[in-house]
Structure 1
Amino acid sequence: MVLQLRRAALAVAGISALVFLVGLALGRDGLWHPALVVTGFGVALGLGALARVASYQYTAWIVACVIAALTYPGGFDSWGGVQLAGGILMTTIIQLVMFGMATQMSISDFAGVVRHPRGLPVGLLGHYLVMPLGAFILVSITDLPAEIELGVILYGCVSSGLASNVMSMLAKANLGLAVTITAMSTIAAPLATPLLVQLLGGRVVDVDVVKMVFDVIQITLVPVTAALLVDYIKTAPRRARTIVHGAAVISAGWLVFMVAGGWSALTGNMSPHGVTAFKSLYQIAAAILIAEAYAAAVNRWPVVTRYMPYASMFGIMYYNTITTAAGRDALLDVGITLLIIGLVHNLTGYVFGYWGARGLGLDKASARATTFEVGLQNGGMATGLATGMGLLGTAGLAAAVFSPLGNVTGSMLANYWSRRPIDGPVDEPDPVDADEAERIEAVGAATTGIDAEARQ
């Protein structure tokens, strides 16, 4: 039934493509505009029917959303009086995306630090030295508008995203090393990202380092900590779980107090930085409550964990679509340039990640892992920071272009490596428990559209 639906979607896409070409030739916008959108979504839905390109389904959905945003930008401005690009809404969705993806992590991921004395430095240096400098050099030799330049630098200074773990799994790389680099680069982000953006992008736009530190904490560490709290609750002793339950009750009371007027009463005389810091406490309380609720939901309905990555994928499509609509005119002017910059930046990360690891004597499986960990950045964090700066339609464009591009190149490289067994000596891989492997496979199914059995 599903296969028949996908084939029907491809047929509709083919017909719509013909209508698009006819409408374009006749210069009839009312004909080719909707036909183009239908073609995009038809291809996205039907791609799963074609085995050779099925792994690009998620990227196809993003492209379809981008096409819709470019064609009908006004349709993504506000719905029912709610501004879709509003800071609170965008930040909340990005936090939920981070939480959903981080539920595929575990506390044990951080134990890999001591097992990777050489691989971890390659990943961290790649993220916070090679990629930022690469972004800075690329914008220095091109003629992009200042705020879009800042977006490229911003994207180059963020941590790794969980998509890199999926690519490592597909490529038969050292998954334990990949997960460890992701975890540690996320922990380092609240200090590393703001300082690097100030150093490399401060000449473009004034950067409030203190505010950005708290923005990174809110966008990444708060939801990631909530997800790790869920992981902790699973195996925590009864006394510890009781403490968490108590903290959730206190958090619920605190949030009710804040909504009932406590926020205005407590922040009325605070400085802007004080309000930002206080907001973090507000969000930590919300994170504890969400962690408790999610843990209870998983305990009652275990299948929830399989669908969380899909919810995250939907969130990513949302903020990419809204960003594209907000910056449509700018993207049409510099889109090709951004694509070229994004490709060079992405490939630079791959090259350093692989050969940097090999140069330090790491085996090929570990080098494959560092390739993806360095080359694929956290687009959600970059989008969230651009939103916090009020520059979603300009500084947010780089992430909207670079993230889908990275998914395409990463999937191509992962599929290439998956068909080529590793020859030569291979170090003993870092152990990944069955639960964690299953969680990462769930992300893989959401991002590539291929389940674990289909990859065998």
Structure 2
Amino acid sequence: MIAIITRLFPLWAALCSIFAYRNSAVFVPLKPYISEMLMLVMLSMGMTLKIEDFTRVLKRPTPIVAGIGLHYLIMPLAAWLIAKMLDMSPELQAGMVLVGCVASGTASNVMVFLSKGDVALSVTISALSTIVGIFATPLLAKMYIAASIAVPVMSMLKEIFLIVALPIAFGVTINYFAPQLVKKVVPSLPLITMSLIIIVLSTVVSLSSDKIGIETVIVVIGVILHNALGLIGGYWGGRLFGFDKSICRTLALEVGMQNSGLAAVLGSSFFGPMAALPGAIFSLWHNISGSFLASYWSGKPTGTSNDHLKREDVSLH
């Protein structure tokens, strides 16, 4: 029953997003708890990982370098080209470019988890792309929109540590010291994890509902194209490097999914409220597209050891 419910994850995400848009007051009060909910999701992911997973990734650094390189090569350029092609206003162009210039988002780790990708690789790329982004984001933004942007360095490092690194490390520790307990808990995680992700997504939609109107259609088109180019470029870039399907799925989601919340904040702070719109819409769309893609991939073999992980054994696999 849990497997059937979680397989319909994209449907629940879409329905709840529509409800949140029409009834934003229901979810707005949950804004202060978004970080905590994501931390619980990351904790559940960490409980399915072992220390050996990370040592294995670090022994093969090529996918890490490829993921970060593809991310900062494809996304800023794609955002700039799409903004120009759609003839967006300068403010919206700045917002689009900022979405392309930020690091991978924490949501990518979740979607990789659902897709039978390499979670340890995903977490490593997200962490390193965030560190690289401290320098890359302002430099790339200046290159594409000729503006100087002050990136909140400590806030970004705090976010990646508290929301991603710490919960996953705690989960790995639990798995190391209490593997039998983990085996008992894991079967109950799918529904809990899916519910938390949907609540987070609904909260993001509710917080952006006042910015979403008929005049934003062009931004929606741009965001969908941008996300699609990232997903496609990440996957086939990985295939060109000769990586297996599990790694290619990981690269697709790491390249195509952004820390768009940060982009929205930077856009609003430096270019005006409309510059936050691409980031706000991207926050919604990449979760929906990622969940659909994850649902599709979760039923497809990768040809790696990940294939022995059954949907009912690991959260939302």
User: How is 1:395-410 mapped onto 2 (pairs within 5 angstroms)?
Assistant: 395-410=275-290
Q: Show CA shifts across 1:356-392 (max 9, x none).
A: 111111122322221222112233333444465585x
Q: 1:227 is matched with which residue?
A: 167
Structure 2 distance, partners of 1:428, 1:115, is 17
- Give runs of aligned pairs for residues 246-395 of structure 1, distance below 5 A: 310-311=195-196, 313-325=198-210, 327-328=211-212, 331-333=213-215, 335-386=216-267, 391=272, 393-395=273-275
- Cα separation, 2, equivalents of 1:55 and 1:213: 34
Report if the CA contact (8 A) 2:83-2:93 is conserved: yes
Aligned to 1:217: 157
1:414 and 1:197 mapped to 2: Cα distance? 30
Distance change >3 Å, CA 184–CA 345, structure 1 → 2: same
Give me the whole-angstrom Cα distance separating, in 2, the residues matched to 1:308 and 1:418. Answer: 15
Given that 1:191 and 1:213 are in contact with CA atoms closer than 8 Å, whether structure 2 keeps it comes out as no
Q: TM-score, normalised by structure 2?
A: 0.73
Within the candidate set 393, 404, 416, 2:296 is matched to 416
**Correspondence 1:40-55 to 2 at 5 A:** 53-55=8-10
* Map of 2:182 onto structure 1: none
Change beyond 3 A, Cα 1:167–1:231: closer
Residues 1:193 and 1:111: Cα distance change in structure 2 (over 3 Å): farther
Structure with the larger RCO, 1 or 2 (CA within 8 Å, 6+ apart): 2
Does the 8 Å contact 1:357/1:366 carry over to 2? yes
1:219 Cα deviation after fit: 4.1
For the pair shown, which has the larger CA radius of gyration, 1 or 2?
Answer: 1
Q: What is the CA-CA distance between 1:308 and the residue it aligns to? A: 7.2
Give the equivalent residue in structure 2 for 1:32.
Answer: none
C-alpha RMSD of the superposition? 4.4
1:151 & 1:124 partners in 2: Cα distance? 21
CA-to-aligned-CA distance 1:251-290 (integer Å, 9 cap, x gap):
xxxxxxxxxxxxxxxxxxxxxxxxxxxxxxxxxxxxxxxx
Identical pairs, percent: 28
Tell me the TM-score normalised to structure 1 length: 0.54
| Separation in 1, partners of 2:161, 2:243 | 30
Offset, 1:131: 0.7
| 1:68-217 paired onto structure 2 within 5 Å | 68=23, 95-96=35-36, 99-104=39-44, 106=46, 108=51, 111-203=55-147, 207-209=148-150, 211-217=151-157
Confirm or deny: 8 A CA contact 1:127 1:158 kept in the other structure: no
Residues 219-269 of structure 1 deviation map (CA, whole Å, 9 limit, x = unaligned)? 4445445536745875999xxxxxxxxxxxxxxxxxxxxxxxxxxxxxxxx
CA separation of 1:231 and 1:195: change in aligned 2, threshold 3 A = farther
User: 1:56 maps to what in 2?
Assistant: 11
* Cα distance change of structure 1 residues 373 and 332 upon mapping to structure 2, 3 Å threshold: same
AA aligned opposite 1:367: C
Q: Is the 8 A contact 2:41 2:196 kept in 1?
A: no
C-alpha change, 1:195 and 1:212, in structure 2 (3 Å) is farther
Q: How many residues align?
A: 303
Distance 1:310 1:64, change over 3 A: same
Alpha carbons of structure 1 residues 387 and 360: separation in structure 2 relative to 1, 3 Å? same
- 2 CA distance for matches of 1:388 and 1:314? 27
Q: Sort the Cα spacing of 1:236 and 1:155 in 2 relative to 1 into closer, same or farther, 3 A.
A: same
Q: 1:168 to 1:213 in 2, by over 3 A?
A: closer
Give, in angstroms, the shift of residue 428 of structure 1: 6.4
Contact 2:94 2:145 in 1 (8 A): yes
Gaps of 5+ in 2: 178-184
CA shift in 2, pair 1:312/1:350, >3 Å: closer
Q: Are residues 352 and 140 of structure 1, via their aligned partners in 2, closer, same or farther at CA, if it must alter by over 3 Å?
A: same
CA contact under 8 A between 2:231 and 2:256: conserved in structure 1?
A: yes
CA contact (8 A) 2:204 2:283 kept: no
